[in-house]
Amino acid sequence: MSDPFANRGNRDASVVNPRPGGTADGSRHSGPTRPGRTGDPFLIGENMRGGYGKADILNGCTLAVEKGQIAVIVGPNGAGKSTAMKAIFGMLNLREGSVRLDGQDISALNPQDRVKAGMGFVPQVANVFPTMTVEENLEMGAYLRGDDFRQTMQQVYELFPAVADKRRQNAGELSGGQRQQVAVGRALMTQPKLLMLDEPTAGVSPIVMDELFDRIIEIARTGISILMVEQNAKQALEIADIGYVLVQGANRYTGTGAQLMADPEVRRTFLGG
């Protein structure tokens, strides 16, 4: 197995290194964790308010998911969906609210330490290292681990056979759907308790979208919680245990996927009738 930790990740753009050729910014230090609250869901981002500069994008929104559930966030463009994901992952400082995971308040943790706490995050863009092979991308996902991760890699290959077939190929040479599978696989290499997906089916064909959703269901059945933003709202709500419709950074509707699909106002306004 090749050495994945020889600074190769700095060559490419990624969620932590938006400018290829540089070094990821690890300057933000974490504060302490605190106990969560009795009766908390497995994950909850509660009453989150924050944004970029002085402008608030999130206006008191709350998102939660229980262990092994699939939670889907939908809403119009500019509703704050991806911003909410970044806030939960620690990429956006909150002016108000908190994030609690598995019995701990992790609001003061930076993204790196949230990964250690059990979060895996797959951004919508720049989510693979294109000049590294598929296998090297997966190895990078195990960067924080100190154990033998070969079994986890084999599980990823079993989940995504197309990825296994191209393990020696550079990720940048793959189709959009295959790159998404690599990105999800790399997040799974961290052995997350919570997997966060920002528009995982963006730009892929309907057939690939259905396959990705099938794999997401399989992942949730292993006990991993799923929180995802999805532009294909109807299809996503069909697999959702709970759904959130955000408008202007706040919760407009919350319910099971079936409830939201059956709500005539939600269907008319957000699902195309």
Each residue's pLDDT tens digit in the chain (273 positions)? 445 444 444 444 444 444 444 344 456 788 999 999 999 999 999 999 999 888 899 999 999 999 999 999 999 999 999 999 999 999 998 999 999 999 999 999 999 999 999 999 999 888 999 999 999 999 999 988 889 999 999 999 999 999 999 999 999 999 999 999 999 999 999 999 999 999 999 888 999 999 999 999 999 999 999 999 999 999 999 999 999 999 999 999 999 999 999 999 999 998 876
Residue 244 to residue 62: CA distance in whole angstroms: 9
Instruction: Tell whether 248 and 154 lie within a shared domain.
Output: no
Instruction: Tell whether 206 and 242 lie within a shared domain.
Output: yes
Instruction: Tell whether 187 and 198 lie within a shared domain.
Output: no
Residue 57 to residue 242: CA distance in whole angstroms: 22
In-domain check, residue 252: yes
pLDDT at 48: 98
Instruction: Tell whether 87 and 200 lie within a shared domain.
Output: yes
Helix axes 176-188 and 206-221, enclosed angle (nearest 10): 10
Instruction: Tell whether 104 and 206 lie within a shared domain.
Output: yes
Instruction: Tell whether 232 and 244 lie within a shared domain.
Output: yes
Instruction: Tell whether 45 and 113 lie within a shared domain.
Output: yes
In-domain check, residue 103: yes
What pTM did the predictor assign? 0.89
Structure tokens given for 96:
């108000």
pLDDT at 248: 96
Are the C-beta atoms of 50 and 96 separated by less than 8 Å? yes
| Final residue belonging to a domain, choices 161, 176, 191 | 191
In-domain check, residue 19: no
Domain span at 56 = 37-118+193-273
